[in-house]
Amino acid sequence: MTEMKGWKEIPIGGMILDAGNSEAYNTGDWRAFRPVPGEAECTNCMLCWLNCPDSSILVDAENEEMTGFDLKHCKGCGICAAVCPVNAGVIRRAEGEVEKDDPRLCIRMVEEGKFQEVGNE
């Protein structure tokens, strides 16, 4: 929790004078589901990066590789998992229903509460 400022210390009218400060806002706090890499190999198609509404897909631009998730800002919306074509393939080949935290997926959405059981990605 950042320190709360008094009315004399903040810009008037709710103005934000330091542009780009939304980065300092830890929206990862809101997350109920966490994106976690699964067993299926990422093809680096970058569809998750393209679709993420919070710019929370981390990439190595030089090697054109998807390298993980910015968990400080990821709100856990699951769009990355929904658009992932590797996930689509896993679901199509599977027999029966595939839960969204299925380990066979490329991008799994795991409940934050269960996260300790899954361990660090």
Partner 1 sequence: MSKFEALTGNAAVSNAMRQINPDVVAAYPITPQTDTVQTFSEFVADGLVDTEFVTVESEHSAMSACVGASAAGARVMTATSANGLALMWEIIYIAASNRCPIVMSLVNRALSAPINIHCDHSDVMGMRDSGWIILMSENGQEAYDNIIQAIRIGEHPDVLLPVAVCQDGFITSHSLERVELFEDGEVQDFVGTHEPQWPLLDVEDPKTYGPLDFYDYYYEHKRQQVEAMEKAHGVIREVTQEFNDRFGREYGLFEAYRMDDAEVAVIAANSTAGTAKTAVDNLRDQGLKAGLLKLRVFRPFPGQELAEALRGVSAVAVMDRAISFGSMDNAGPLFSEVVSALTLNDVHVPIADYVYGLGGRDIRPGEIENVYQEAFQMAENGKVERRVRYLGVRE
Of residues 6-65, those binding partner 1 (CB under 8 A) = 6-7, 10-17, 19
Q: Tell me the C-alpha distance between 21 and 110, whole Å.
A: 29
Residue 35: strand pairing partners = 109
Question: Does 113 contact partner 1 by CB under 8 A?
Answer: no
Smallest separation (angstroms) from partner 1 to the CB of 17: 5
- Which of 25/99 has CB closer to partner 1? 25
> Do 110 and 101 meet the contact criterion of CB atoms below 8 Å apart?
yes
Q: Tell me the C-alpha distance between 90 and 106, whole Å.
A: 8
Smallest separation (angstroms) from partner 1 to the CB of 30: 14
Phi, psi (degrees; rounded to nearest 5) at 5: -95, 155
- Which of 20/113 has CB closer to partner 1? 20
Residues that bind partner 1 (CB under 8 A): 4-7, 10-17, 19
